[in-house]
Amino acid sequence: MGVYVNPTADGFAEILRTGQYIDKSELIAYTNSVLCTSRKLTCSSRPRRFGKSFAAKMLAAYYSKGADAKSIFKDLQIAKKTGAEFEKYLNQFDTVYLDMTPFVTLAETADKIVSDMQREVIEELEEEFPGCVRKGTKTLYKAFVQIHAKTGRRFFIVIDEWDMVFREVKGNGEVQKEYINLLRSLFKSGQTSQAVAGAYMTGILPIKKYGSQSALTDFKEFTMLKPGPLAAFIGFTEEEVRKLCRTYELEFSEVQRWYDGYRFENIGHVYCPNSIMELIAYKDFDSYWTKTETYESLRDYIDLNYDGLKDGIVDMLGGKRCKIDTGTFQNDMTSLSSRDDIFTLLVHLGYLAYDSGCEEVFIPNEEVRKEFVRAVREGRRTELAKAVKMSDKLLYATWQKDEKTVAEMIESVHLSKAAARNYNNEQALRYVVIMAYLSGMDHYLRFEEIAGGRGYSDILFLPRRTSSKPALLVELKWNKSVEKAITQIKEKKYAQILKQFEYEGKLLIIGINYSTRTAKHTCKIEEYLHTDIL
């Protein structure tokens, strides 16, 4: 047993000893089902902090001949549900476990990454299989073929952070090409195919594409866009999070607001494991994404000047969605040529969620939204930072009942590029108002066209439980008057909406009108206690 060849189960055992492991061992049932078949090569990509390394260490512990893992797995789902079948492949394969992170970060120069990795692994193979690897062998695929020819034994290969080369050596095409050629030799050669019983690669990015073709066509890929049968093993499911909330006495609705938002067909809502575990550790609802290296990337990508990128980000900050085409993305961080490429990359990084049914992206939750706002504020796109600052000012003016400033700020948003192009009806006005109040997402839940009293209120901003701000009930008018808007709120008793939310606190009713004759917005604000207007 060694560092790379037939490792022990210590890495996975350490994870289990924390006592907070969420059982994802049924992933083994999937990998067992495809072993030694044409589907034996699996690549599962997901964002940082979504449990990639946990899965890789678990598979290495299960298959490695250098591990004695029966006692480790006996209480996990894979053993309970599959019984004797579970033991069929337990510690039965010569396993090679490669974590690409140290190979990339500790290399003297980028040019040595691939050669150093092969040399170190071959040295261990020579120790594990004496007399099988010919002297002077410098490539892994030859070493595997030689061992298989002498012994008939087959390998299970685990590669963690497989895409580290593409993420950290972005500008070195030669190193990337050398690395891809290594992987091709391991997994596309007829000879090595006989020596390899199965493989599992995990990383953030899907396998690099050249044109429309994957560089490693034999791999079955499962991604944040198409997780397939591995969906349940990407992140925590809602059922798992509810159980954790009961165990650690957390309010699920608040956990949901902060960390929900990703969703896969067939399994429903998915949560970032790191965020949930950090919440449990610190008992503090906050954003834990700043602790990942991809935060700086988010800021840099937002700063790129592609058509529609700015407007799309403003829309999503305001709670809207953007339709995208994911097909042009080349699965790397350098071949970016459009807004859709940026947004697709952000899905793989976890900063956006993807709805495959309507092909739309959106900011998934409060945690990630805070990272977007922080990236916008610190970025170089001054127009984006200005939009956030304008919204902050508008919100403050609203709380102060400064009607003149509110009208002026909405006017500014209307005149900006974020405004709807065809500004000719109440629906267009609604879009502008929602964009103007995008900072309100920090304090409020927003509802549109919500039934209450004797009709439908245009917009309700309901304070979050942690907010002390007043509720905002907004009525929009087109070529009428703000007085008429305020009167309609009162006469139709829209404030009764608050009863269904059991809200007790201050309420600002807000009328906003746009006149096509003067091309001006006007505003009127009145304050009440919820009991005064119900």
Would residue 1 count as lying in a domain?
no
Q: Within this chain, do residues 182 and 43 fall inside the same structural domain, yes or no?
A: yes
The tokens describing 229, both together, are 């049968």
Which pLDDT score, from 0 to 100, does residue 207 have? 85
Q: How far apart are CA 305 and CA 316, in angstroms?
A: 17
Would residue 207 count as lying in a domain?
yes
Phi, psi dihedrals of residue 139, rounded to the nearest 5° = -120, 140
Instruction: State the residue for tokens 């092909």.
Output: 359
Would residue 187 count as lying in a domain?
yes
Q: Within this chain, do residues 371 and 519 fall inside the same structural domain, yes or no?
A: no
Q: Within this chain, do residues 403 and 525 fall inside the same structural domain, yes or no?
A: yes
Strands ordered across the beta sheet of 236-237: 236-237, 268-271, 262-264
Last residue of a domain, one of 380, 411, 429: 380
101: domain CATH number is 3.40.50.300
Which pLDDT score, from 0 to 100, does residue 214 have? 63
For every residue of 27-81, DSSP letters joined together read HHHHHHHHTTSTT-EEEEE--TTSSHHHHHHHHHHHHBTT---HHHHTTSHHHHH
The tokens describing 361, both together, are 């992206």
Q: Within this chain, do residues 131 and 105 fall inside the same structural domain, yes or no?
A: yes
Q: Within this chain, do residues 223 and 242 fall inside the same structural domain, yes or no?
A: no
Measured in Å, how far apart are the chain's first and last C-alpha atoms? Answer: 74
Q: Within this chain, do residues 187 and 246 fall inside the same structural domain, yes or no?
A: no
Last residue of a domain, one of 233, 252, 273: 233
Number of independent structural domains in the chain: 4
- If one counts every other C-beta atom within 10 angstroms of the C-beta of residue 119, the result is 12
Phi, psi dihedrals of residue 240, rounded to the nearest 5° = -65, -40
Provide the domain limits for residue 356. Answer: 291-380
Would residue 328 count as lying in a domain?
yes
Last residue of a domain, one of 329, 356, 380: 380
Would residue 370 count as lying in a domain?
yes
Buried b (16+ CB within 10 A) or exposed e, 489-525: beebebbebbeeeebeebbbbbbbbbeeeeeebbbbb
Q: Within this chain, do residues 155 and 59 fall inside the same structural domain, yes or no?
A: yes
Pick from 356, 326, 331, 369: nearest CA to 344: 326
Instruction: State the residue for tokens 């580290």.
Output: 164
Would residue 417 count as lying in a domain?
yes
Q: Within this chain, do residues 61 and 202 fall inside the same structural domain, yes or no?
A: yes
Cα Rg of the chain, angstroms? 28
Would residue 5 count as lying in a domain?
no
Which pLDDT score, from 0 to 100, does residue 209 have? 67
- DSSP designation for 514: E
Would residue 243 count as lying in a domain?
yes
Q: Within this chain, do residues 207 and 262 fall inside the same structural domain, yes or no?
A: no
pLDDT in tens, the chain (534 residues): 679 999 999 999 998 888 778 999 999 999 999 999 999 999 999 998 898 999 999 999 999 999 999 999 989 999 888 877 888 999 999 999 999 999 999 988 999 999 999 999 999 999 999 999 999 999 999 999 999 999 999 999 999 999 999 888 888 889 988 998 999 889 876 777 789 999 999 999 888 766 555 678 889 999 999 999 999 999 999 999 999 999 999 999 889 988 998 999 888 999 999 999 999 999 888 888 755 555 567 778 888 878 888 888 888 887 789 999 998 888 877 788 899 999 999 999 999 999 988 999 999 988 888 888 878 877 777 777 777 788 888 899 999 999 999 999 888 887 765 444 566 667 778 778 887 887 777 788 888 888 877 888 888 898 987 788 999 999 999 899 999 999 999 999 888 888 888 888 899 999 999 998 888 999 999 998 866 655
Q: Within this chain, do residues 166 and 37 fall inside the same structural domain, yes or no?
A: yes
The structure's pTM equals 0.83
Q: Within this chain, do residues 319 and 252 fall inside the same structural domain, yes or no?
A: no
Q: Within this chain, do residues 276 and 371 fall inside the same structural domain, yes or no?
A: no
Q: How far apart are CA 45 and CA 60, in angstroms?
A: 17
502: domain CATH number is 3.40.1350
